[in-house]
Amino acid sequence: MRLLGMVLAVTLGCVSPSAGSAQAQGDGPLRIEITEGVIEPLPFALPVFQAETADAPGLAAQISQVVSADLSGTGLFREIPATAFISTVSNFADPVQYADWKAINAQALITGAVAVQGNQLTVKFRLYDVFSGAEMGSGLQFTGTPDGWRRMAHKVADAVYSRITGEGGYFDSRVVFVSETGNKDARQKRLAIMDYDGANVQYLTDSSAIVLAPRFSPSGDRVLYTSYETGFPRIYVLDVGSVQRRVLESQDGTMSFAPRFAPDGQNIVFSLSQGGNTDIFAMNVAGGGATRLTSAPSIETAPSFSPDGSQIVFESDRSGSQQLYIMPASGGEARRISFGPGRYGTPVWSPRGDLIAFTKQNSGRFHIGVMRTDGAEERLLTASFLDEGPTWAPNGRVIMFTRESQGAGGRSSLYSVDISGRNLRPVRTPDGGSDPSWSPLQK
Amino acid sequence: MHTGHYISGVGHVALIGWLIFGDVFAAEPLPFEATTVSVISGSEFAAMVAAGRAPQSTTEVAQPSSPEVTPDAPEIAATEDPVAGQTPPEQAQTPATEDAPDVSDLAALPQADVSDQAPVLPDPPADVAVLVPEVSDRPVPQAAERVAPEAIAQPDPEARPDPVEQEAVTPNASGETQQDPAEATAPEAAATEIVTEAEQPSAVPLQSARPPARRPDPPVQQAAQPVEAAEPAAPAEDTTEDAVASALAEALAADSSAPAVPQGPPLSAGEKDALRVAVSSCWNVGSLSTDALNTTVVVSVSMTQDARPVTSSIRMASSSGGSEQAARRAFEAARRAIIRCGAKGFDLPVEKYGQWQDIEMTFNPERMRIK
């Protein structure tokens, strides 16, 4: 027995120096796969930006508030109240006490400073990943005039949003919509434009004629809309800067409506109704004749370009019920993409090109939904008495739409919802609102 | 040459002939009951049905004639039955009468308070139209701001939100505790998937039947006891087990330059699953872009012996499915998950430290895209 022990000892002694490392190298690290996570707002801390000049405290507080509201309003972030803070940020250049922010579970920390010198406003900020103990990107500074403080706050929020999520923001953008006042039977409508969050509302037309369906140009400098100024629907193009407008060429005895810009900003598509039949046409916004894209006895309307301009999605009742179709931008054979129960309408292609938003009517309720461009993965995001007219945020993450309440005193208002169906919330407007169209990010 | 063909042909002919003329497949009919029916015309059927119906009332009905009555009733002769041979029954004895019970101790019934006034009933509710909700066959989970792998009910409002559940540690009456005082923590309420407005809520369990993972209490440190000098033990009997054990000990002790890292057996499936669940509870993909949600990242991390991640060791080993920027965002979310939920140490067996000293975690968000 003793001999056996000696033999084993010699044998193991020969191999033992390499045994441990061999096992580690052979087996390697422990490997696990994580496939389930959580979806919850990311907690962030935003101490009020430091005022670096004597007349900056007011603006610093307002800018901090707008940045915080922008981020919280997405539903992706949650602000930690200042009463929970352990640390204070007394100087923009001071090092961050990560442990204090970890203790309150702040996963992102935003610090900033504001300075006013004459007619120049400077806003700078830094973003920190608290649990990694590192700054996310470099500090960034914006300069402008004091009256543009809201836009600068939106730009700070866009930068923070983009750095954390990895996709573009949408806060420094505007929305053109139809402002509505009065009861349903005598409603007055006029075009209005505002910041994405409902601030800075300005009116582009008076309420002497009914206006419908405004649509921003890809550069955000012009708006197409339909007006009943002549008694028949006609398409107008309006310059946002000068508020000058002109009617696009149209034929007598026809009705033209549902216009939308092509991604190049030079051409438009629209519906033209003639002799009881409605088809889709294209034309150059500078003038010239219209080109027919569809030719069917059914109603074809609500065209919307794909972001690359190669295809058009539209609604048609050629199959007997209102469904969505996609055709080449030059016209031609269309393929149906909606096959669910109910009726589909007002399709809008996402700026990212991956989804199509639509209105759906089924079982007495209206929905805003999204589907892939081949019709797959349809998902209904809302449900109400009347939801319609979706429009995409510049980053393709959020949809704004019209919701009308039931009854004679029903009111139209604007709502927004994340494409996941979360974060459904009303958009504040002074009066009722409908037909929103989201602009691209401002330069 | 064709013998086989001939044999086959003859055989087939014989078989076919047998099938035709042999009455092989003639089977006896199965027994059954037959019911005789007769075909009748429509008019006959109508007449038959009409006969079965109740008669209609009419005003002029022929009255039946009265029966004839004979004036003289027949005479009936009464005769006595013979009773001979029958004995009268015996008279049954009447039982003795019981004494009446003594009721003197019984209390009198209380006087009932009866009022002539009709009770005042509350006003019935006004007529209200009730909309019957549409009922879906598919159960829909409760909506919640947080989506997690398992539904979590609303936690105790006193508890601080934290991915790791922990009971409050408070000093006892004498002001002493075995652990540092700490407030209670609990994960926030969560649903298992995003519930849009288009979906109706239904009754689903608010909390999983599975008990939440809870870290074991740290071992209580015992005061070191002085050890008496042990007398040298008597030499044990030389056995095979002792020889092998001593040989192993000597061999392992020979490598004195390497630090003592307990290898232990590989982690069990349950231990791996506990680690997976712990990291999952902190892996927040809610703020990731859709591009990042299409990106799988493999993250490597070194662990300390108390099961905490070494922050500086966390790095992205590889990524697939998305752009470089998307991979970076996905990695940052993964790194946050490891650091956050590992801050208090993962629930890993110390005796197997060598097995989890280095970990590679693959974060695959495929299933999170369809929440």
What is the tens place of the pLDDT at every residue in A95-129? Answer: 999 999 999 999 999 999 999 999 999 999 999 99
B275–A32 CB contact, under 8 Å: yes
Given a cut of 60, is residue B106 above it in pLDDT?
no
The percentage of residues in chain B with a pLDDT greater than 90, rounded to a whole number, is 22
Provide the pLDDT for residue A44: 97
The closest of B275, B249, B268, B271 to B260, measured between CA atoms, is B249
Higher-pLDDT residue of B7 and B119 is B7
pLDDT, residue B370, reads 58
Mean pLDDT score, A364-377:
96
Chain B touched by A34 (CB under 8 Å): yes
Mutate to test the interface with A, among B261, B290, B358 (most CBs of A within 10 A): B290
- Chain B residues touching A105 at Cβ < 8 A: 161-162
* CA of A375 vs chain B CAs: smallest distance (Å): 16
Whether B254 sits inside 8 A of A107 (CB atoms) is no
Query: To which residue do tokens 């007055």 refer?
Result: A188
User: Does B81 score more than 50 pLDDT?
Assistant: no
User: Cα separation of A126 and A141, whole Å?
Assistant: 9
Q: Poorest-confidence range of A343-352, B230-239, B313-322? A: B230-239
The whole-number pLDDT of residue B41 equals: 67
Q: Does B10 touch chain A (CB under 8 A)?
A: no
**Dist CA B124 CA B127 (whole Å):** 9
Strand-strand pairing, A387-392 and A108-117: unpaired
Q: How far apart are CA A279 and CA A283, in angstroms?
A: 13
**Whether pLDDT at A187 is above 90:** no
Chain A residue with CA closest to B285: the answer is A39
Chain A contacts of B343, Cβ < 8 Å?
Answer: 102
| A8:B340 CB<8 A | no
Asked, for residue B135, whether it belongs to a domain, the answer is no
How many contacts (CB atoms, under 8 Å) link A and B?
213
Pseudo-torsion of CA A159, A160, A165, A166, nearest 10°?
Answer: 30
* Residue B274 belongs to domain with CATH number: 3.30.1150
Rounded CA separation A224/A235 (Å): 7
- Over range A200-228, report the average pLDDT: 94
Q: Using CA of residue B312, residue B317, residue B322, residue B323, what is the dihedral sign?
A: positive
For B131-163, the pLDDT digits (tens) are 444 444 455 556 677 777 777 777 776 666 666
Show which of residues 271-300 on chain A sit within 8 Å of chain B, judged by CB atoms. Answer: none
Mean pLDDT of A151-170: 95
The closest of A383, A381, A397 to B133, measured between CA atoms, is A383
Mean pLDDT of chain B: 67
A41 CB near a chain B CB, below 8 Å? yes
* pLDDT for A71: 97
Contact A39 B329 (CB under 8 A): no
B160-161 and B185-186 beta bridge pairing: parallel
Residue B209 token pair:
């039947």
pLDDT band at B38 (very low <50, low <70, confident <90, very high): low
CB contact under 8 A, B286 and A384: no
- To probe the interface with B, which of A8, A34, A162 has the most B CB atoms within 10 Å? A34
Pairwise CB contact (< 8 Å): B198 & A421: yes
In a domain, B161, yes or no: no
Q: What mean pLDDT do residues A1-19 have?
A: 40
Q: Are A180 and A189 in contact (CB under 8 A)?
A: yes
pLDDT band at B20 (very low <50, low <70, confident <90, very high): confident
pTM, two decimal places:
0.70
Write out chain B residues lying below 8 Å of A381, CB-based. Answer: 196-198
Interface test with A, best of B196, B252, B288 (most A CBs within 10 A): B196
Q: Is A39 on the interface with B (CB under 8 A)?
A: yes
pLDDT 10s digits, B174-227: 655 555 666 666 667 777 777 788 875 544 444 444 444 444 444 444 433 433
Angle of helix A57-73 relative to helix A149-165, nearest 10 degrees, comes to: 40
Of A24, A28, A380, the CB nearest to B198: A380
CA–CA separation, A297 and A294 (whole Å): 10
Residue B150, min C-alpha distance to chain A (Å): 9
B70 pLDDT tier (thresholds 50, 70, 90): very low
Range name among A82-86, A294-298, B159-163, B270-274 with the lowest pLDDT average: B159-163
B181 located within any domain: no
Spell out which residues of chain A touch residue B213, defining contact as CB-CB under 8 Å.
Answer: none
Q: Do A29 and B300 touch (CB under 8 A)?
A: yes
Do A40 and B243 make contact, defined as CB atoms within 8 angstroms? no
> pLDDT class for A25, splitting at 50, 70, 90?
very low
Is the pLDDT at B23 greater than 90, yes or no?
no
CA atoms of A72 and B145, how far apart (whole Å): 13
Chain A residues with CB under 8 Å of B242 CB are 5
Q: How many domains, in total, are found in chain B?
A: 1
Residues of A in contact with B291 (CB under 8 A): 166-167
Query: Is the distance from CB of A346 to CB of A360 less than 8 angstroms?
Result: no
B308 touching A, CB under 8 A?
A: no
Gap between the terminal Cα atoms of chain B: 76
Question: What pLDDT score was predicted for residue A257?
Answer: 92
Query: Hey, is the C-beta of A13 within 8 angstroms of any chain B C-beta?
Result: yes
* Residue B244 within a domain: no
Q: State how far residue B314 is from chain A, nearest Cα, in angstroms.
A: 10
pLDDT at B42 over 70: no
Q: Over range B44-66, report the average pLDDT.
A: 50
Q: Is A86 on the interface with B (CB under 8 A)?
A: no
Query: Is residue B298 domain-resident?
Result: yes
Which chain B residues contact residue A9 at CB under 8 A?
246-247, 250-251
Give the nearest partner residue to A39 out of B134, B286, B354, using CB atoms: B286
| Domains of chain A by start residue, with CATH | 42-165 (3.40.50.10070), 174-438 (2.120.10.30)
| A442, A174 contact by CB (below 8 A) | yes
Could you tell me if residue A401 is left (phi over 0), alpha (psi between -120 and 50 degrees) or otherwise beta?
Answer: beta
Residue carrying the six token digits 């947080």: B146
**Residue A379 forms contact with B (CB below 8 Å):** yes
**Helices B240-254 and A2-27, axial angle in degrees (round to 10):** 50
DSSP class per residue in A374-415: TS-S-EE---BS-EEEEEE-TTSSEEEEEEE-SSTT--EEEE
pLDDT at residue B224, as a whole number: 38
Please list, in sequence order, all residues whose beta carbon lies within 8 angstroms of the beta carbon of residue A331, skipping any fewer than 6 positions away: A280, A291, A292, A293, A294
Residue B290: which domain range? 269-368
Q: Which residues on chain A are in Cβ contact (under 8 Å) with B362?
A: 31-34
Span of A175-184, A381-390, B207-216 with lowest mean pLDDT: B207-216
Read off the pLDDT of residues A241-279 as tens digits, 9 standing for 90 and up: 999 999 987 777 788 899 999 999 999 999 999 888 999
Contacts of B293 in chain A (CB under 8 A): none
Does B258 reach chain A within 8 Å, measured CB to CB? yes
B276 in contact with chain A, both atoms CB, cutoff 8 A: yes
- Please indicate, yes or no, if residue B196 is contained in any of the structural domains: no
Q: Which pLDDT value is given to residue A180? A: 94
State the nearest Cα–Cα gap between A87 and chain B, in angstroms.
19
Q: Is B248 on the interface with A (CB under 8 A)?
A: yes
Binned at pLDDT 50, 70 and 90, residue A182 comes out as confident
- ipTM, 2 dp: 0.79
Q: Which residues of B touch A24 (CB under 8 A)?
A: 354, 358
Is-contact A302 A258, C-beta < 8 A?
yes
